[in-house]
Structure 1
Amino acid sequence: MKNYRLMAVVCSFVAPVEAASWVADARGNGMGNTGVTTADFLSAPFYNPALTAVYRDHDDFGLLLPSVNLNVRDEDDTISIVDDLQDDIDRYEASGGSVDSATITQMNRYLDDLSDNAPLNASGGLGVAMAIPHQTLAMNVYARGYVELFAEPKIAANTGDSAAAVQSRYEASSVDLLAFGYTEFGVAFAKKYEFLQQQFSFGITPKYQWMRTYKQIASVKNFDWDDYDKSEVNKNALNLDIGAVWLKDAYRVGVSVKDLFNHSIETFDGQNHYQLDTQVTVSAGYAGEFLSAAIDVDMTKQERFTGKNDDTQFVRFGIEGNAWGWGQLRAGYEIDTENTVDDAITFGLGISPGDVVSLDIAGRYAGEHQLGGSANLAFTF
């Protein structure tokens, strides 16, 4: 697939963000994107602010610089087909319409393929964080950003293989692109409490959000991934995340509420809206010295673009084996109960010499045309 072009566009959305799949954290990504009870104090704001106060006795400072994530879901190879079709259209028009019949027929086949293709989805993100754990009040200053892209071919009906019919068809066909870009900057605060011999941690994150939408409807002949930014709409807002976790030895139960206040932002023509919904996730986990495991369950679905089949609601499973703090192996599985995204296997590797510098990488696989990866570099002192 020619996914490098789309990757470049996704990166161009995110690059201006000084700040994630929706969470760019290779450790959690490798564990099925879990983290509400098993994230560390450095990545806590990405999952559950209460975990900001859950740290080891020797942890005094943490720095995440940076975390990155990219995912592409192109089930039907839409990117390559559009590129190949545009190449044939260019040859056809450059010749004044005097190409051989095989080229005309192939152009029509490309259009037939696109008419049956599922929408293309892509996401990418970046994140940075600086954590200062303290028993009085733990704090984590962070920034993160991500982009979600949705592209759908709209192909005119097939009226035959004649040159005139095919030309009329491709001129009447389009690719509709919708995208949402998001950046947030916040400070997570958390503190541990003991009540009835039970240990709890509670956290809150006040944050500022920058949201933007993009919409492009272009003929399949002229469609260009790089033209996304000609229709930008901006909106800024304040919001809150809250979370709690119960801890008993290595066992944990937690809940996280992200984006306590719903927000909506429309596209430039007012025909579509992106819904930034409140997300509630419950989790149970085990975080031992040599083994960690978690299950995270979304209690709410994410609607995203109105009028598009892009709703998601996940159940996630993850496990990690830790070799004395020097290396980690991770695996996970995630299920979208809305059936928008195919079930995915995740895997990851961590290298942490001396438990001071950590390099984590992760991958996500849900079929040949649904791939993702992430990486991050962290320092803890």
Structure 2
Amino acid sequence: MKLKALTISVAALTSLAGAAFAAPSGYAPGSTLTTGAVSNPYALSSLAYNPASAQLMLRDDENIRFGWLTTIGTGIELGDVSNFEQEINDLSDELDRDDLTLSEGEALVDRFNAILPELGREGYMKLNSGVSVPLMPVVFNVGGMKGNFFVESGAELLIGGRFIDDEVTVQMNGSTGSIQTQSSVYLKAGTGIRLGLGYAQPVWEGGEGWKSGQLIVGGKLDVHRLSLSKQVILIDDVDDLEDTIEDDYDKNEVSSTGVSLSLGAIWRADMYQLGLTLNNINEPEFDYGPVGTNCDGLSGTSQNNCF
């Protein structure tokens, strides 16, 4: 399985009508957590959204500008599953029993089959976190050129989890039995580091009245090193969830390197500003390891989750 990325974002900033913006899928660095995906000359962190904004970062009397401390951001999103937490704990406990009567088993089947489909729809979690390298980004001008160069680097962590529901059934062995289900937790995680080099410059200026302004274009090349892992964990193993994740994460992890190209444009006027960004236009691909293969070579919980 491969991870591909192509994103388009459009941002507008105006002193008359407020702001409208579309944030990227990763974390929001620094002040962009508040201002959003706008090219702000007072915030170097806004370079993360539009490479053309490098042209806005230096005054006429400046040749270089860089950050001081790092920027850190974290975001988390949870599905509406608060009412199901106790039910899942109860299901995990009942799956460990092998002394159920037929009537008890059928009652549990009716109970859990009524809630698991909704949990499959609503049960998810997303976490992303990122940090920039200290002193980054750096914006600089070389020899009085018309445009500005910039370098930026950082690291990110992304984790996603989803509940996969499956029918609960009862299995009898004589007068007693147990309930069974293949309901699982599907986890995907990735860590990545990147190093980017970009350039921006004005290409046209003119017009009259409200149509007057300056057109700036820019581009950036990023080198990414991503380590991706995914795994499926049966619900009857949730008591050992942390240990299972730690044991299997490295086994399923695959690392790969890719290069992405992003382009941006800004129309800058006296009373408003418009921006357009095309991120990862070459759609770099990064590989996940396979799930459900070579199960015979595993043992214990890892083998159960593999099948």
TM-score interval, smaller chain: 0.5 to 0.7
Displacement, 1:256? Answer: 0.7
Partner SS for 2:180: helix
Q: Does 1:124 align with 2:128?
A: yes
Looking at secondary structure, tell me which structure has more helix per residue: 2
Taking structure 1 as reference, are residues 261 and 158 closer, same or farther at Cα in structure 2, changes over 3 Å only? same
Per the TM alignment, residue 205 of structure 1 is displaced from its structure 2 partner at its CA by 1.4
Alpha-carbon distance, 1:22 to partner: 0.7
Q: Shift of the alpha carbon at 1:160?
A: 9.6
Pairs aligned (count): 244
Match of 1:53 in 2: 55
Amino acid in the other structure paired with 2:263: I
- Cα distance in 2, alignment partners of residues 201 and 262 from structure 1: 24
Which structure carries more strand by proportion? 1
> Map of 1:1-381 to 2, 5 A cutoff?
22-31=26-35, 34-38=36-40, 40-55=42-57, 57=59, 60-77=65-82, 80-81=85-86, 84-85=89-90, 88-89=93-94, 92-93=96-97, 97=99, 109-110=111-112, 112-117=114-119, 118=121, 119-128=123-132, 129-134=136-141, 136=145, 137-158=148-169, 167-170=178-181, 172-196=182-206, 198-223=213-238, 224=241, 226-227=245-246, 229=249, 230-269=251-290
2:160 is paired with a residue whose SS is strand
Contact 1:206–1:239 (CA under 8 A) maintained in structure 2: yes
Q: CA, structure 1 residues 173+150, in 2 after alignment: closer, same or farther (shift >3 Å)? A: closer
CA distance change for structure 1 residues 61 and 181 in 2, over 3 Å: closer, same or farther? closer
Q: 1:87 to 1:173 in 2, by over 3 A?
A: closer
- Work out whether residues 146 and 181 of structure 1, in 8 Å CA contact, stay in contact via their aligned partners in 2: yes
Q: Measured at CA, do residues 264 and 42 of structure 1 come closer, stay the same or move farther in structure 2, by a change above 3 Å?
A: same
Q: Shift of residue 89 of structure 1?
A: 4.2
CA contact (8 A) 2:51 2:264 kept: yes
- Separation in 1, partners of 2:265, 2:107: 61
Structural RMSD (CA) = 3.9
Could you tell me whether the CA contact under 8 Å between 2:109 and 2:168 is conserved in 1?
A: no
Deviation at 1:107, TM superposition (A): 8.5
Distance 1:253 1:267, change over 3 A: same
Cα deviation, 1:150-204, whole Å, max 9, x if unaligned, reads 3232322455999966x3324x332333344443221233234553363232222
Amino acid at match of 1:63: W
Query: Who wins on radius of gyration, i.e. which is larger?
Result: 2
- What letter matches 1:141 in structure 2? E
- Identical pairs, percent: 15
Measured against aligned partners, the alpha-carbon deviations of 1:317-370 in whole angstroms (never above 9, x if no partner) come to xxxxxxxxxxxxxxxxxxxxxxxxxxxxxxxxxxxxxxxxxxxxxxxxxxxxxx
Q: In 2, Cα distance between the equivalents of 1:79 and 1:30?
A: 33
Question: What is the one-letter code of the residue matched to 1:169?
Answer: Q
- Contact 2:46-2:53 at 8 Å conserved across structures: yes
Q: How much does 1:66 deviate?
A: 2.3
Partner Cα distance (2:254, 2:172) in 1? 41
SS at 2:31's partner residue?
A: helix
Distance in 1 (CA, whole Å) between partners of 2:262 and 2:252 is 30
Cα distance in 1 between the residues matched to 2:106 and 2:275: 59
| CA pair 183-151 structure 1, distance change in 2 beyond 3 A | farther
Letter in 2 for 1:25: P
Residues of 1 paired with 2:75 and 2:32: CA distance? Answer: 14
Task: State the partner residue of 2:304.
Answer: none
Match of 2:89, SS state, is: helix
Distance 1:125 1:66 in 2: 11
> Are the counterparts in 2 of residues 54 and 201 from structure 1 also a CA contact under 8 Å?
no
In 1, are the aligned partners of 2:100 and 2:176 still within 8 Å (CA)? no
Q: 1:240 to 1:97 in 2, by over 3 A?
A: same
Cα offset, 1:40, TM superposition: 4.8
| SS of 1:84 mapped into structure 2 | helix
**Residues 108 and 247 (structure 1 numbering): CA distance in 2 closer, same or farther, change over 3 Å?**
same
The CA deviation at 1:61 is 3.3
Unaligned runs of 5+ in 1: 1-19, 272-381
